[in-house]
Amino acid sequence: MKSLPQSVLFCCDHNAVRSPMAEGIMKKFYGTGTYVQSAGVYNDMEIDGFCIAACKEIDVELSRHRSRSFDEMQDWGDDLSSFDLIVALSPASQRKALELTRIFHLDVDYWPIMDPTGMGETREQKLHHYRQTRDQIIQHLKANWGDPTE
């Protein structure tokens, strides 16, 4: 079991499903002792409604999340070099994170988290896939940093 990092950035393709889920769940599980943010390779989508619904089931509120890209992060003064750890949740975000951190001594972990968008026909089927994604993130969080402290 690793000790919690001082700061962690979760990233995925659009910052609309996986990385906001990971950010919200980590904050709920481990409190405010760790600075947690999320970003996407692109910012071309708002946060996904099914993502909000799946997280609400475990008391994680994501409706106020604003999606942002790596570029916007830097525009807003959140420097990648200020994070202890970047956790990439998709292959594209892993490539982007490695490319952006070449000049920093920064750990980039890769967690292969399923992208639930476009899966399932009915609302219930869609929610099922989003819950699977949420639960994969929870498994990775617990495997890395143990049971929730909050």
pLDDT of residue 120: 95
Q: Does domain 7-145 have CATH number 3.40.50.2300?
A: yes
pLDDT tens string 4-20: 999 999 999 999 999 99
pLDDT of residue 100: 85
- Separation CA 119–CA 67 (nearest Å): 21
pLDDT tens string 62-78: 999 889 998 888 787 77
Which amino acid is it at 56? K
- Does the model's pTM come out above 0.95? no
Query: Where do the H-state alpha helices sit in the chain?
Result: 18-30, 49-56, 70-75, 91-100, 123-145
